Amino acid sequence: MPVKIRLSQKRVADLEPVPGKQVEVWDTDQPRFGVRVSPGGRKVFFVMRRVDGKLVRATVGIFPEMNVDTARTRAAALLVAMQDGHNPNLEKKHRRELQDDQRGILLHLFESYLDSGGMEGKVKGSTKVAYRSAFKRLKAWHGLPVENISADMVKRLHAEIGKSAGGYAANFSIALLRSLMKYSMENYNRPAVNPTSTVKWFKEIPRREAMPPETIPAFFKALDELKGDNGADLFRVLLFTGMRKGEAMPLKWSDVDLENKSLHVQDTKGGTSLDIPISGHLAEILLKRKERVKSPWIFRSNSRVGHVTNTAQYCREIEALGVRVYPHLLRKTFTTIAASIVPGAMVDCLTGHIPQDVTGRHYTFPSVGQLRPHTEAVTAAILEMAGALTNQSN
């Protein structure tokens, strides 16, 4: 005979499993509601009644994650719905199928990829920003199921992006799509074949250049004429530190020690943190900025993350003023000037590169204080090229 008791928190907790047998205990207060105890001791609340003539058992919740009172309330509502002809098991299956369909939509796949941190769960915040920018180039496909994106479509888009934005942008965008497809295949078994596998990449030739010394005065003048001060101050930080834009844009005031003139980069491209000195000249620029900017972010913006995430507009404005520039050019310029006056291993330490020689890689670990004279020397050289060197005490 069925076991019936008034289910309470204590009574459910005291129910003992029976080896090799599922035990069902029914509630005397709420008809058709009970708890099932597995041989392993798992306790599951359930309801059971006929829907369209068929006996249906539906899970309400798991004890003790769900307490008895909550389970009884939900059971009552579920039984009313079943009385009206709703089969909760079929509806749950339909929701699961719908969710599976949504996972296969490129836009939903992209968000899932970012939320999970990518294939290895290690996608950095700065990389996510770059991915979002590249994903915009796939906008026409955002609503498509991954199975509907063919190899021919990918080849055509790769060529189109190459013509409009260049080979680097085309390769990066399709490489992102390749990662999304691989992620979908490993996690959702779709599509059957990665449509990006036959793409022939554009040849990427690194731009071996630095800003010519004779251009630096015009560059400084252009910074002074930029609208607002985000772009100007960001580009000054890039030039006077040699930082990558992805390291500089998310800087917070808590990352900078203006009193001791040092800066902490939490996550470099190499995956390690970096502490570098900043010159007295740059410290003064940042000190004045801190008085103006009331935000945790040094380069605040209205973006979803709260800080500047894109420098394209700044580059266009500076180019309109007669100077061609891009963020990595400033890193190359800092490094080129530093290499002419600073020992090579010290240049690597300032820019976060891993030295190639054995001594530099394994035995050279200068402190911020030991690096400071080199930073000041590079800053002085830049200012001299800009015609702005003054007798100032740092």
Query: In this structure, which CATH number among 3.30.160.390, 1.10.1240.10, 3.50.50.60, 3.40.1710.10 belongs to the domain 3-99?
Result: 3.30.160.390
Whole-angstrom Cα distance, residue 131 to residue 173?
Answer: 8
| Cα pseudo-dihedral 113, 114, 119, 121, rounded to 10 | -140
Please list the residue range(s) of the chain that carry CATH number 1.10.150: 104-188
Considering the entire predicted model, what is its pTM?
A: 0.60
3-state DSSP assignment of residue 300: strand
Query: In this structure, which CATH number among 3.40.50.2300, 3.30.70.1530, 1.10.443.10, 3.40.50.11400 belongs to the domain 213-386?
Result: 1.10.443.10
E strand intervals along the chain: 3-5, 23-27, 33-37, 43-51, 54-63, 256-257, 262-265, 274-277
User: Given strand 33-37, what is the order of strands in its sheet?
Assistant: 3-5, 23-27, 33-37, 43-51, 54-63
Amino acid identity of residue 251, one-letter, is: L
Query: In this structure, which CATH number among 1.20.1740, 2.60.40, 1.10.150, 1.10.3860 belongs to the domain 104-188?
Result: 1.10.150
For 360, the enclosing helix (H) or strand (E) is helix 358-362
Whole-angstrom Cα distance, residue 348 to residue 357?
Answer: 11
Walk along the chain (394 residues) and give the pLDDT tens digit of each residue.
689 999 999 999 999 999 999 999 999 999 999 999 999 999 999 999 999 999 999 999 999 999 999 999 999 999 999 999 999 988 888 777 666 667 789 999 999 999 998 877 778 777 888 899 899 999 999 999 999 999 999 999 999 999 999 999 999 999 999 999 999 999 888 899 999 999 999 998 777 889 999 999 999 999 999 988 899 999 999 999 999 998 999 999 999 999 999 999 887 666 677 899 999 999 999 999 999 999 999 999 988 889 999 898 999 999 999 999 999 999 999 999 999 999 878 888 888 766 666 555 555 678 999 999 999 999 999 999 998 543 443 3
